[in-house]
Amino acid sequence: MENPIKKGKLAKTEDDKLVLVNDKNQAFVVDQAVIGIWKMLDGNKTVNEVVQEVAKETDAMPEQLSPQITAIVDKLKEVGLVI
């Protein structure tokens, strides 16, 4: 997987839920963890580098985080929020 790049924008709904909005104006309710990962996808980091950074911030083991973060990035790609 190349260095993923975030697309779309972060917004709030009328009831203060955080959403990521893709180019088709589809909104996806997300939590802070997903937003944090999405923000890291600047095209300069590999998914593995994002995993390492999250592991440092959370004191979690990279092996535990890797499948989850990879799945999040794959899903963001699927819905047009990452290229």
Domains annotated for the chain, with CATH where assigned, are 9-78 (1.10.10.1150)
> What pTM does this model have?
0.94
At 2 the pLDDT is 84
Report d(CA 14, CA 76) in Å as an integer. Answer: 23
Report d(CA 28, CA 34) in Å as an integer. Answer: 11
Report d(CA 36, CA 68) in Å as an integer. Answer: 13
> What are the tens digits of pLDDT across the range 43-71?
999 999 999 999 999 999 999 999 999 99
> What are the tens digits of pLDDT across the range 24-36?
999 999 999 999 9
